[in-house]
Structure 1
C-alpha cells in the first residue's frame, strides 16, 4: 500500500497542515487541513474516509471536501467512524447552521456523504483493506486503526496518550509492519499531556521500548510552537534507549509491504 502524508502537524502555521493521510489514492484517514492540497481530480477519487475522532484538526476539511464534491457525478463518500464521533459531526458540524447537512444534500437518497457507524470491536473490509479499530486514550472518544492489504500492515494511533491497551490488542492481532504514532507535547508539559490524552517524548520512548525492532515507526502531530523542542527530546531519548523512530512530514510518501 502507498500512504501519502497530506498533513502531519498538531496545529497550523505557514506550510503546516493538520492530520490527513491518503492511502492508495482512494482511502482518506482523517480529514484535517492537509486535504486542502489535493486537486479536484484527487478529491474526486476519494471513496471512503476513516475518522479517528471528532476534533477539528482531524475533521474540519471533511465539510469542505463534501462541498467540493457536490454535483461532480461521483458516488457518495462513505465516512466510517465510531457512532459517538459521527453523532458529534451531525450535531455540531453538519447541522444546517455551522455547515450544510451533506448527508442529505443534494437529496437524502443521493447525498454527498454517507455516515457508516463502526462498532469498535469489529473489523471493516474496504476493497483489499482489512481495517481494525484500535484502543486510544484521548480527551474525547477516539480510536486508532490497523490497515492490512495482505502484503503489508500499518497502524495509525490517532490522537492518544499512553495506552497499553493499544499494544495489547496488537499482540492479539499481530504486530504491524509500520506504526504512525503521535507525540504532541514536550516533556515539560507531561501533566497537560496526560490530562488531554497525548504523548510526550519520554512517554513515547518508554512505550516504543516494548515494540519489536522490525516495526518501522513514524512520529506525527507535534505542536508547532514546541516542535523543535519535541524533536530534540525525542531524538536524544530514542538514541539513549536504542529505539528507532522517524518524523513523518507533510508530503512524505510511504510504501508499506510489496
Structure 2
C-alpha cells in the first residue's frame, strides 16, 4: 500500500500549503482538500473511491471540481464513502444544484457519474488485500478517521478530532500499526480555541499520546498557517518522548 500526502495543512497561503487529501495507491482518496488540485487529469481519472472524514470545506473543497473534471473520462461512477450525516450534508449543501450539480443524478454512458456509499464507525471495506475501516472521531460536525491495512501493516489517520476516549482502545489493538497521522491545529496559547473548535493543541496532543500503548511513527497534520514553527516547537516540548514529526506534502508512506 502506498499513501502519498497531497495536502495536510490547516489552510492555504503558499506553494507548500494544501489542505487535507491523501492518495492511496492510484485509485483511492482519503479526503479531497485542495491538495487534490496538484494531480493531473489522468491521475484524477484513475480514482474510483473517495473516503471523506467529515464535511468541512478544507476536506472536501476539490471534490465537486474533481467529479466535474473527470465525468466524461470514466466508464464507472466514482464512489464517495462517508458516515450517513456527512453524506446528507454533501447532498443537501454541496451537490444540490444550487452550489454544484448533483452528479449522482447525472448519467454518462447510462451510468451515474458519482454514487454515495454509507460507512459506519467500525465498518471495514475490502479492496482486494487492502482494507479501510472507519475509526471514531470527535469534532464539531460528525466525523471519522480511517484505518488503512495493506495486508502486512497499518496506517491510521485520525482526521479532525479532539480528546477522544473511544479512539485509543481501538488504536491500541492494532498490533501491526506502523504510522499514526494525528492532527494538532492550534498552539498552546490558543488551547481554549482548540477546545471550542474540537481540535488539539500540543498539550492536548501529549495527553492523548500518553494513552497509546503501541509504538508507531507519529506524524502531525492540520497545523494552522502562521503557527507551524510554534506548534512543532511546543510539540517537541510536550510530547518529545514520542518524537512526533510534522507531516508534509508529498510525503510517501509504503507499508
> TM tier, shorter chain?
over 0.9
Q: Where does residue 149 of structure 1 map in the other structure?
A: 150
Whole-angstrom distance in 2 between the partners of 1:6 and 1:39: 12
Q: Where does residue 104 of structure 1 map in the other structure?
A: 105
Q: Is the aligned partner of 1:247 residue 2:240?
A: no
Give the CA deviation at 1:60. Answer: 1.3
- Output aligned runs, 1:25-64, within 5 Å: 25-64=26-65
Give the CA deviation at 1:169. Answer: 2.0
Per-residue CA deviations over 1:213-245 (Å, capped at 9, x if unaligned) read: 631111110011222211111122222xx1211
Whole-angstrom distance in 2 between the partners of 1:74 and 1:7: 28
Whole-angstrom distance in 2 between the partners of 1:103 and 1:79: 10
Give the CA deviation at 1:171. Answer: 3.0
Q: Is the 8 A contact 2:218 2:242 kept in 1?
A: no
- Output aligned runs, 1:1-258, within 5 Å: 1-15=1-15, 16-106=17-107, 110-172=111-173, 174=175, 176-212=177-213, 214-239=215-240, 242-256=241-255
Whole-angstrom distance in 1 between the partners of 2:117 and 2:74: 21
Structure 1 residues 124 and 136: alpha-carbon distance in aligned structure 2, compared to 1, 3 A threshold:
same
Q: Is the 8 A contact 1:44 1:74 kept in 2?
A: no
**Structure 2 unaligned spans of 5+:** none
Q: Is the 8 A contact 1:153 1:176 kept in 2?
A: yes
Whole-angstrom distance in 2 between the partners of 1:108 and 1:164: 47
Q: TM-score, normalised by structure 1?
A: 0.94
Per-residue CA deviations over 1:12-41 (Å, capped at 9, x if unaligned) read: 111110000001111100000000000111
Q: TM-score, normalised by structure 2?
A: 0.95
Whole-angstrom distance in 1 between the partners of 2:235 and 2:131: 32
Give the CA deviation at 1:107. Answer: 5.3
Whole-angstrom distance in 1 between the partners of 2:179 and 2:227: 25
Q: Is the 8 A contact 2:153 2:176 kept in 1?
A: no
The secondary structure found in structure 2 opposite 1:70 is helix
User: Which of structure 1's runs of 4+ aligned residues deviate more than 6 A?
Assistant: none
Q: Is the 8 A contact 1:104 1:110 kept in 2?
A: no
Give the CA deviation at 1:194. Answer: 1.1
The secondary structure found in structure 1 opposite 2:72 is coil
Whole-angstrom distance in 2 between the partners of 1:208 and 1:73: 42
Which deviates further from its counterpart, 205-214 or 113-122? Answer: 205-214
Structural RMSD (CA): 1.6
- The alignment of Structure 1 onto Structure 2 pairs a total of residues equal to 254
Q: Is the 8 A contact 2:175 2:214 kept in 1?
A: no
The secondary structure found in structure 2 opposite 1:71 is helix
The secondary structure found in structure 2 opposite 1:224 is coil
